[in-house]
Structure 1
Amino acid sequence: MTDIDTDFETIRIETPGNYVGHLVLDRPEDMNTVSATMLEELDEAVDVLEDHEGVRAIYITGEGEKAFSAGADVSSNGAMDNREGVEHSRYGQRVFGKFRESDLPVIAGIDGYALGGGLELSMCADLRVASESSEMGLPEHNLGLLPGWGGTQRLQRLIGESAAKYVVFTAERIPAERMHELGFVHEVYDDDEFEEQGLEFAANVAGGPPIAQKYTKRAMREGWDNMEAGLELEASAFGHLLDTEDLSEGITAFVTDQEPEFEGK
């Protein structure tokens, strides 16, 4: 396992192989809360991972067993007036949104608490896996606030309006199995197997056809609010993929009952 050479203070990036770029939220002493510095470093990290030729998928986890991220670090973000609060919300929305906008598949591995801003970050992943003892929630209403880094919009698009309102209005910590039932979490693993199985899940996604995955994310993203635009991009992408070596590799592997080895060509 090697690290990508960076000067990050609150996160680190590892490349464990299998085309996975492992982004670790690295403030375990503060339950990996999202500080102003972490926001800036996450902003940069997306670009670093997208530019790394050995990375085909991003896997986000939190250091330690207590939390993926327990939310925003209020102390480091400091007191803000109204205007600063608006801009802080917009910046967090944009930074987290970069993971959703990325052409790379993004997987969030939730072990422990994913609360507030931590849960909002995981909403921008394409897929989410969790350990069985994990708990998730948006506690902002208990503070007299509302989720400000995309939670009011993104969660309802993932699990539906009614279920999202339940999560927001109750401000409760919801077990991983319940979030799995709601469709937010895709796989729940035993606590003692989470580290291995979560990374294996990410590696399986990273081993998929890179060009097809890129076009799939673009088509689904474009069709989020405009299905006709998404369908048009889907048709265009389908045609472009017919000329790829990956398609030939996939067909050959299917016919011979072998595992395909996609090269992104």
Structure 2
Amino acid sequence: MESNSDDSDAIAGEFETLRTERTDDVARIILDRPDDLNTITPTLLEELSTAIDTLDADSDVRCLLLSGAGERAFSAGAELSALAADGMTATDGVELARTGQQTFGKLDACDTPVVAAIDGFCLGGGMELATAADLRIATAGSTFGQPEHNLGLLPGWGGTQRLSTLIGESRAKEIIFTGDRYPASEMADYGFLARVLDGDEAFGSAAMELAEQLAAGPPIAQKYTKRAMRAGRDDTDAGLEIEAHAFGQLLDTTDFTEGVNAFGNDEEPEFTGR
């Protein structure tokens, strides 16, 4: 999904494998290896980690929009040549898995809402990357799958954990154990996708509109919502405790006052993150 705005500006430095752009308070991270179906290399993981850190720390960035360059793939997964390289040891494999887990985990844990806009192949590590986003939308022709078992591997960048949390263990096992490919319509039925759209033009506009809608939301409330939901995955009581404390703190914010006043006047609130 390419940028459809003339107001986009490059941000966050120069990278080899991805591009970052800014349109108002939406920052876009674009995997930029279209000739290789945006496959994921160690360099891409390193650059993605840096981009996430930089953009999440920028208070003017209110939503991250993640997509792939070109018209064929969001990401077709890990670059196989990196996995099958001569001299790759088990220790190297563990470190590569941990690097991917930590990088994708930054999207899951960051305070900024993250939308993955998927057009084309979303396979293997690419699907694990999309799973780490908060919301996912896709074109009707997109294809999904975790084919690692077909290679004698398993999803090593968080896929055995986050996919189960998102769509349930039974569905996750079906996708991982079969290694099959799934159409966008079926992934929407599974709850993996929030929305499926026909047509590239409509898709690009819808992705940006969703990102802009999240960017217009209350940043402090969004931050605590992500934290509470994440904590509650493994410990419901911990999630509820964060939820309760956050609720109390939010009552004392300017955003809450703005929301109440806007509601009373039948207006759209303008949240500032204070």
- Aligned partner of 2:256 in structure 1 is 247
Alignment correspondent of 2:37: 31
Q: CA deviation at 1:76?
A: 4.0
Query: What count of residue pairs does the alignment treat as equivalent?
Result: 264
Where 1:12 maps in the other structure, the secondary structure is strand
Partner of 1:145: helix, strand, or coil? coil
Gaps of 5+ in 1: none
The alignment status of 1:264 with 2:273, answered yes or no, reads: yes
Pick the aligned partner of 1:8 from 12, 15, 21: 15
Structure 2 partner of 1:70: 76
Q: Deviations over 1:164-213 (max 9, x none)?
A: 11111111110001000000000111123111111111111111000100
Partner Cα distance (1:190, 1:259) in 2: 29
Q: Which 10-residue stretch deviates more, 174-183 or 190-199?
A: 190-199
Give distance in 2, aligned partners of 1:76 and 1:10.
Answer: 15
Could you tell me which residue of structure 2 aligns to residue 46 of structure 1? Answer: 52
Query: Cα distance, 1:52 vs. partner?
Result: 2.0
User: Secondary structure of 2:122's match?
Assistant: strand
TM-score normalised to structure 1 length? 0.97
- Give the CA deviation at 1:5: 4.4
Residue in 1 that maps onto 2:230: 221
Q: Note the C-alpha offset of 1:75.
A: 1.9
Hey, what's the Cα distance between the residues in 2 that align with 1:65 and 1:172? 22
Matched residue, 1:180: 188
Task: Give the structure 2 partner of residue 195 of structure 1.
Answer: 204
Contact 1:116 1:140 (C-alpha < 8 Å) held by counterparts:
yes
- The equivalent residue for 1:58 is 64
Measure how far apart 1:106 and its partner are: 0.9
Structure 1 runs of 4+ off > 4 angstroms?
none
Q: Measure, in 2, the Cα distance between the counterparts of 1:135 and 1:241.
A: 40
Q: 2:27 corresponds to which residue?
A: 21
Amino acid at match of 2:143: E
Return the letter of the residue paired with 1:143: L
Are 1:133 and 1:191, in contact at CA under 8 Å, matched by a contact in 2?
no
The one-character-per-residue Cα deviations of 1:113-135 (angstroms, maximum 9, x if unpaired) are: 10000000011101111111101
Distance, in Å, in 2 between the alignment partners of 1:164 and 1:76 is: 26
**Deviations along 1:204-244, whole A, 9 cap, x unmatched?**
11110001001111111111111111111111111111111
> Pairwise mapping of residues 61-210 of structure 1 onto structure 2 (< 5 A)?
61-76=67-82, 78-79=85-86, 80-192=88-200, 193-210=202-219
Indicate the SS of the match to 2:65. strand
* TM-score in terms of structure 2 length: 0.94
* Contact map agreement 1:127 1:186 (CA 8 A) in 2: yes
Q: Distance in 2 between matches of 1:38 and 1:6?
A: 14
Unaligned ranges ≥5, structure 2: 1-7
Separation (CA, whole Å) in 1 of partners of 2:222 and 2:77: 30
Root-mean-square deviation over aligned CA pairs: 1.0
Distance 2:122 2:131 in 1: 10
* Mapped contact 1:223–1:229 kept (Cα < 8 A): yes
Instruction: Supply the AA of the counterpart residue of 2:226.
Output: K
Residues 12 and 55 in structure 2, CA contact (< 8 A), matched pair in contact too:
no
1:261 is aligned with what amino acid?
A: E
